[in-house]
């Protein structure tokens, strides 16, 4: 059953990812930009103060991310510069990263600078028979512990970014993270003691890295910031109830989740963007009212599943009692068949996991575009790339590179209809490579 401890990890290191806890605030869902290219408010030669002013011109505004599974209830609010474009969804999670997470991308008016909170990724590892029953279908293929800095190097390679250097995490942020871990552990120690159960061991590690890439002719500089949250659970062994069947040894299972923020801007504007974003405490804020509603809904679902499992277990015990007099050889044969079936299922699951990971590793950028309902297009003349709405199949940009036109009509052509010369854009993968 889920309770407030389920969300404790989300509160740890939130400053690292630009997310805070707050009281719920009402408001409509954010509307993403339609992919239009507009003129930048500060050129590459502008001073730092001018660039900062361009990022924050018009002040700030709040957009909202809603949870469609809870009647479009506001799940998070995102504070961004008022003149920036916003796209956001509530990533509902899967088997490995099971807690819903706000995912968003905020883009500057010129389409070059952006800040995005990426979907979380997770993995399992451990020892003992219980590890075979852990979900594998959407997990990273890691077979052991991985530091937060090592994860960033893996992620940078997956995203085809150049890893320039580690970026130290502020000491006060690391200290506050550890304090949050200690408070969470102390708050629930009594509950585990009452159940005579060993509490899980939670560790959270923060890391940052400086990366770079190219966006057409622009040299882009970026910062990856990750929070790796790992929980280690211990499962006691069990004595066999059947003669001839071995005892089940204890198991230790570690579940890790990585949540990442990516800030990117032209190299000359990168430091100013980071200072403007961090200095204004921009980013996502999880709404407490939604968190409590999510916990309540999942507790109800857990109670229903427990009741169903109890009924199923009672039926199985009755059937087992009726079959108790069967010959030992029959029981042994059934056991061997069961173990063969479990092994075959595990082998198939591992094969599917490997195939899924191979596809994710080669198309990570496409996955992010899909999660944020966007597509990447490139100007065949200049090589300039833009992130635009995926709702349209054809995108045109005029000769200035500042205005775009999107349509689903294959025969539509803005040349001669709209002022200027228009060039149809070529759709590419999310990292800019051609299909």
The three-class DSSP label of residue 32 is: coil
**pLDDT band per the 50, 70, 90 thresholds, residue 229:** very high
Per residue in 39-90, pLDDT (tens digit) is 333 344 445 565 555 677 778 899 999 999 999 999 999 999 998 999 999 9
DSSP 40: -
Mean pLDDT of 104-110: 93
Q: Percent of the chain beyond pLDDT 70?
A: 83
For residues 121 and 141, is the Cβ–Cβ distance under 8 A? Answer: no
The three-class DSSP label of residue 369 is: helix
Domain locations in the chain as residue ranges: 4-298+361-369, 304-360, 374-428
* C-alpha dihedral (244, 350, 249, 229), degrees to nearest 10: -160
DSSP 99: S
> Which residues have a Cβ under 8 Å from the Cβ of 373 and sit 6 or more positions away?
32, 87, 89, 389, 390, 391
Question: What confidence score (pLDDT) does residue 97 get?
Answer: 84
For residues 430 and 385, is the Cβ–Cβ distance under 8 A? Answer: no
pLDDT of 175 > 60? The answer is yes
For residues 432 and 375, is the Cβ–Cβ distance under 8 A? Answer: no
pLDDT of 343 > 70? The answer is yes
Torsion over CA: 144, 147, 151, 154 (sign)? negative
For residues 65 and 74, is the Cβ–Cβ distance under 8 A? Answer: yes
Q: What's the mean per-residue pLDDT of the chain?
A: 80
Highest-confidence range of 75-84, 185-194, 305-314, 372-381, by mean pLDDT? 75-84
Q: Which of 6-20, 104-118, 403-417 has the lowest mean pLDDT?
A: 6-20
Rounded to an integer, what distance in angstroms lies between the CA atom of residue 220 and that of residue 377? 17
Rounded to the nearest 10 degrees, what angle do helices 328-362 and 364-371 cross at? 90
Mean pLDDT of 216-221: 92
Rounded to an integer, what distance in angstroms lies between the CA atom of residue 139 and that of residue 117? 19
Other beta carbons within 10 Å of 87: 24
Name the nearest CA neighbour of 379 among 205, 215, 145.
Answer: 215
Question: What confidence score (pLDDT) does residue 324 get?
Answer: 60
How many alpha carbons lie under 13 Å from residue 349 in its C-beta half-sphere? 16
């Amino acid at each position: 059953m889920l309770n407030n401890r389920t969300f404790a990890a989300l509160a740890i290191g939130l400053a690292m990812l630009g997310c805070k806890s707050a009281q719920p605030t009402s408001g409509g869902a954010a509307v993403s930009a339609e992919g239009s290219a507009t003129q930048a408010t500060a050129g590459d030669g502008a001073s730092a103060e001018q660039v900062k002013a361009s990022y924050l011109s018009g002040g700030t505004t709040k957009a909202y991310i809603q949870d469609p599974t809870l009647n479009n209830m506001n799940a998070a609010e995102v504070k961004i510069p008022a003149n920036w474009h916003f796209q956001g969804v509530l990533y509902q999670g899967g088997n490995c990263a099971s807690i819903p997470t706000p995912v968003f991308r905020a883009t500057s008016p010129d389409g070059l600078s952006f800040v995005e909170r990426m979907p979380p990724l997770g993995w399992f590892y451990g020892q003992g028979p219980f590890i075979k029953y852990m979900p594998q279908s959407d997990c990273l293929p890691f077979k052991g512990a991985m530091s937060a800095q090592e994860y960033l190097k893996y992620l940078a390679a997956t995203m085809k970014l150049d890893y320039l250097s580690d970026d130290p995490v502020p000491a006060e942020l690391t200290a506050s993270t550890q304090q949050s871990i200690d408070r969470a552990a102390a708050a629930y120690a009594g509950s585990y003691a009452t159940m005579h159960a060993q509490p899980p061991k939670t560790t959270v590690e923060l890391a940052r890295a400086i990366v770079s890439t190219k966006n057409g002719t622009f040299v882009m500089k970026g910062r990856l910031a990750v929070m790796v949250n790992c929980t280690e659970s211990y499962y006691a062994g069990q004595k066999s109830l059947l003669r001839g069947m071995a005892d089940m040894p204890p198991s230790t299972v570690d579940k890790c989740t990585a949540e990442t923020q990516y800030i990117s801007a032209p190299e000359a504007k990168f430091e100013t963007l980071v200072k403007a974003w961090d200095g204004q405490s921009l980013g996502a804020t999880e709404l407490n009212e939604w968190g409590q509603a999510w916990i309540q809904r999942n507790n109800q679902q857990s109670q229903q599943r427990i009741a169903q499992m109890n009924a199923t277990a009672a039926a199985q015990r009755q059937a087992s009692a009726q079959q108790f007099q069967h010959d030992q050889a029959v029981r042994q044969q059934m056991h061997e068949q069961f173990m063969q079936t479990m092994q075959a299922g595990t082998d198939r699951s591992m094969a599917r996991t490997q195939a899924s990971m191979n596809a994710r590793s080669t198309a990570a950028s496409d996955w992010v575009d899909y999660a944020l309902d966007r597509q990447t297009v490139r100007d065949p003349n200049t090589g300039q790339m833009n992130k635009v709405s995926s709702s349209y199949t054809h995108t045109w940009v005029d000769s200035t590179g500042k205005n775009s036109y999107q349509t689903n009509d294959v025969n539509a052509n803005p040349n001669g209809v709209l002022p200027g010369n228009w060039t149809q854009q070529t759709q590419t993968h999310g990292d800019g490579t051609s299909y």
